[in-house]
Chains A and B, each alone.
Chain A
């Protein structure tokens, strides 16, 4: 059996890649997808732990994460569409009106 450690490391690597995507890409959709990657990494870690502990709760949590991610994506993409309509751009560097 592959050790849980390895799975968690893999999840960490994927998470870091997602973080890099969030920080470095300027396309809002790309940022969003990076966030999805991060969520996936977290899911992987959860399932790995669930397997180690023999507890199905981990699976259930993943189930909820997926569901909420779906909802979030729906809303987020709708927002992006709305923003694009008004600003003709989804470069997040241009979306800075809400500032101090």
Chain B
């Protein structure tokens, strides 16, 4: 049991391997094999996640840090003291995310096998799904911000892949899909910029990016108020290879000192959060609290505020908050399973995970937390409002996702980290359910359309661009009788989303509302007030538009022949729906509030009061358990039920769509403008176009045409460089080369001719002159040779 954490690299590698297999040979496999490989990979990951959970449960919820082989010293520059290893972390928070990701993911894999049947790039879809799983798991399993960021970028990439999956559709739809993918990528990139700045600041401040170092205890006080203090060992598994047995370490630690907190570790060897906590614990004015950022000195709180602010930018990108949420509705261009997986259950929750992981930072940065709350609430309201006016079934769900993310973000803002995670989990269940259900509905309507209209249909399930849009709710209606299973599960999901007792959404949403009540009215925090008011309203919106959707899609009479002939979906699509529906019902019981009690059905470890919260407590320091606030609960429930009834009254009994295919609220004079505003999505995209895109395009055009071409290329290159070069060339060739060099060379020739002409005269032709010269030469030579004798003779007076 102790070395289950060693399996954590596998949880990433198995989906990666599945992706690779499908990538390399998928085209040659049958659909059955392709989907089987991918689904098996996903299921194996789920199994490993369960094993990790069991490990945690058995080891007292102590975290384990695993170094995968080879990549251990990922970034290691010892001389500069930079050490960012590729480390994975197995603790309650990450395992929670892993379970959700792999569980929901597996179900969606099963669903996709049926949904994508007949698609020419069937196996490619599963490549992307598995790849996404691998990256998302890297994101949640990382032990430092950089590994998280790798996963962050990776899931952004996969979402681009998946959104633009049908990029080759004819008649412009392919372009639209590609544009949507690009929009998602760019919006995410803007957020990533903020995220990176935040990571830089973190590294600059703390000289490390690790969440917790091996040997560190995340929350020394975990479990104290609940069960008896367990004998906590600083059991860390740090081996050179994944296969190394951890027993020796365990035994050694058993024999050595046992620590219950991190006091024995010097500050430099703590992880990011440990250092922050220690610095925050110092009194005001202590020099240990100041952080040196270049020439600036700042208090740790201010620095943390900056860091969290930049992280917030990243969150708004990834988790589709204001101002960067615009990509999520367009992302519905992708296949429905993709939407279900990444844009409902998992990827968009990465931002929330990041913030919950950094709860130490957020808890200390009050200003940023307030900002977080405001953004979350605003997003929830705006998205909820816009969802009222949408006709596309998936777009309603998309805005609903944005709205629910706003709930989670707001919860983080007010410090209710546990509530945020709780809502994340339950939301994953019912939102995935709703998306898959909508996919089923779309599928059915399409089939009905094909049956009734014998028009040629080529590719894709999302319908061709003939006038019939299978996703338009105006083309549906009365599907309850035709697709009963879909209807029942969709209904369950709707009720869960609306927050109806005892479904999952009630408990999680109620916890958020309760926490905001406590924060606002008990602790008098501004954020709490805002959260309470806004979220209540947003909850009402949620219930309203969801019931509107149910009425338009399932109740009443079919408005088109396609709907009249829509068949129920295949079993591979229905089974995940059922499973998710079950979870939507009982999912809330994992974290019941304080004074509610239900039979736990023997699953004591999972279900129960604050069970989830105490589970998370070991990883999230600032988590707190909330008691049930009956007033708020009842108010919220009442609002929800009221909204449902109102929706029923407006949209029920076939009143939803007027004869000219307008919404009934649109037709209504008093609500028409509001409805049209909602339908136009508050003109958000158009505003962005005016504010950002057009100036940007103008600027880039200026830079390209004027600056680059006219100035740089034409003027500088042609005039200055080319002409200058030619002038220098002329200079060198004319005076220098011809004049100087040729002059020298020719001059030498002339010199030679003159000299030889002079020397030529020596050859007179007269023998006597030659003879004389010979004689003279001989005389000279003789003088030289006989010099000593001559001197001797002269000296002796001869």
Residues of A within 8 A of B (CB): 19, 22-23, 26, 31, 92-93, 95-100
Partner of B764, one of A19, A31, A99: A99
A23 touches B766 (CB 8 A): no
Chain B residues with CB under 8 A of A22: 768, 771
A23 touches B775 (CB 8 A): yes
Q: How far is the CB of B773 from chain A (nearest CB, A)?
A: 11
Q: How far is the CB of A15 from chain B (nearest CB, A)?
A: 11
Given contacts A19-B775, A23-B775, contact A95 B767 (CB under 8 A): yes
B760 touches A100 (CB 8 A): yes
A100 touches B768 (CB 8 A): no
B763 touches A99 (CB 8 A): yes
Q: In the complex, A67→B566 CA distance in Å?
A: 138
Q: In the complex, A31→B766 CA distance in Å?
A: 13
Q: How far is the CB of A39 from chain B (nearest CB, A)?
A: 15
CB contacts under 8 Å to A, within B761-781, are 761-768, 771-772, 775
B729-771 to A contact mask, C-beta < 8 Å, 1/0 = 0000000000000000000000000000001111111111001
Chain A residues with CB under 8 A of B766: 92-93, 96, 99
Given contacts A19-B775, A23-B775, contact A92 B765 (CB under 8 A): no
B765 touches A99 (CB 8 A): yes
Q: How far is the CB of B763 from chain A (nearest CB, A)?
A: 3
B765 touches A97 (CB 8 A): yes
Given contacts A19-B775, A23-B775, contact A93 B764 (CB under 8 A): no
16 A–B contacts from the bound complex (CB under 8 Å): A22-B768, A23-B771, A23-B772, A26-B768, A31-B767, A92-B766, A92-B768, A93-B766, A96-B764, A96-B765, A97-B765, A98-B763, A99-B766, A100-B762, A100-B763, A100-B764
Chain B residues with CB under 8 A of A95: 765, 767
Tell me the nearest residue of chain B to A93, going by C-beta.
B766
Chain A residues with CB under 8 A of B761: 100
Q: How far is the CB of B343 from chain A (nearest CB, A)?
A: 104
Chain B residues with CB under 8 A of A99: 763-766
Chain B residues with CB under 8 A of A97: 765
Q: In the complex, A99→B767 CA distance in Å?
A: 10
Tell me the nearest residue of chain B to A25, going by C-beta.
B768
Tell me the nearest residue of chain B to A28, going by C-beta.
B767
Q: How far is the CB of B758 from chain A (nearest CB, A)?
A: 10
Q: How far is the CB of A23 from chain B (nearest CB, A)?
A: 6
Q: How far is the CB of B770 from chain A (nearest CB, A)?
A: 10
Tell me the nearest residue of chain A to B778, going by C-beta.
A19
Chain A residues with CB under 8 A of B763: 98-100
Q: In the complex, A96→B762 CA distance in Å?
A: 12
Q: How far is the CB of B760 from chain A (nearest CB, A)?
A: 4
Q: When A and B form their complex, which 5 residue pairs have the shortest distance between CB atoms, in order from nearest? A: A99-B765, A100-B763, A96-B765, A100-B760, A92-B767
Tell me the nearest residue of chain A to B772, going by C-beta.
A23
Tell me the nearest residue of chain B to A97, going by C-beta.
B765
Tell me the nearest residue of chain A to B757, going by C-beta.
A100
Tell me the nearest residue of chain B to A35, going by C-beta.
B771
Chain A residues with CB under 8 A of B775: 19, 23
